[in-house]
Structure 1
């Protein structure tokens, strides 16, 4: 846990730098996926807008123009919902990858700390029982706290995901109803 030789110190530093690069790569990959989604959405929106303008100009009278306008609401709402789902999926996947990397690092640190405590307790001089007991209980308390925080974070993420799905379903239903009610003169 606490490097005592220059080689151990260098190894610990390399491990830390590697860990931060891992986290950075995960974040950049998530950003790349989001950027690709945004570019694809921009392309699709531009193509759809061009097609909609052509359809509006192809109308022979005001009824045709209103009919085209009435048909635009539902596809636009569905596209917005699909975009939000994709953003949520990218964010969720990136968060899951980051969580996995952080948990793996925590587990390694926990094992290192427990090894340190075990070595310390084994080599502690007589009369240091109070210090060793305090050290052991501190490690146990830190582990328990981490587990509680991790559990709360997972519950929060699951609740947010459930709310997103519920909202997306409701929005999709509302978009379908709006499309059905659009004036078709």
Structure 2
């Protein structure tokens, strides 16, 4: 025998549609931002290729060509790092929206379960207090586990961001050093 009426089921389904479509829209917004970013990168890259080709065609000796190549390396590295940062920002902002909705849904569901257990406990026969204590304990344990996983996930995201920044800084410095060495070698 079902405890839910058809009206309750319909109301629940309607309530679930709004978050579903909201998340779908957020996913498409993130995808749209990535497409716009990629289009922008392709346009600027084509313009730079054309400019660099013109410069390369005007080179008169091998040393000048080496110097030109050395001057192009650091900006290219910076652009790649900037692109990576922007992709990371888009991904994390989209993920943050999903997390916000998931947290709200979890909290609402948790409140509903707690209300259901409380209502059942009120109408339960005498002597069933131990069973409801076990249920309460399980609910508390589930909430604690959720909080632990949530905190670990946040720390992992923060660590990934810090690692990306550190790797980007190291790569940028290495690109600059390589360009400087190539430039010095070209002048000799």
Distance 1:70 1:165 in 2: 24
Deviation at 1:113, TM superposition (A): 1.1
What is the aligned partner in structure 2 of residue 170 from structure 1? 170
Deviation at 1:3, TM superposition (A): 6.5
Give 5+ residue unaligned stretches, structure 1.
none
What is the aligned partner in structure 1 of residue 156 from structure 2? 156
**Which deviates further from its counterpart, 139-148 or 174-183?**
174-183
Q: How does 1:26-37 map to 2 (within 5 A)?
A: 26-37=26-37
Distance 1:174 1:161 in 2: 20
- Asked if the contact 1:56–1:68 (Cα under 8 Å) also holds between the matched residues in 2, the reply is yes
What is the aligned partner in structure 2 of residue 112 from structure 1? 112
What is the aligned partner in structure 2 of residue 20 from structure 1? 20
Tell me the TM-score normalised to structure 1 length.
0.92
| Structure of greater relative contact order (alpha carbons < 8 Å, 6+ residues apart) | 2
Deviation at 1:23, TM superposition (A): 1.8
Q: Cα deviations across residues 125-181 of structure 1 (Å, max 9, x unaligned)?
A: 222223212221121111111111111111111111111111111111112212222
Q: Secondary structure at the match of 2:48?
A: helix
Q: CA RMSD in A?
A: 1.6
What is the aligned partner in structure 1 of residue 140 from structure 2? 140
Give 5+ residue unaligned stretches, structure 2.
none
Distance 2:175 2:15 in 1: 51
Deviation at 1:38, TM superposition (A): 1.0
What is the aligned partner in structure 1 of residue 81 from structure 2? 81
Tell me the TM-score normalised to structure 2 length.
0.91
Distance 2:66 2:170 in 1: 26
Distance 1:67 1:177 in 2: 14
Distance 1:118 1:31 in 2: 43
What is the aligned partner in structure 1 of residue 179 from structure 2? 179
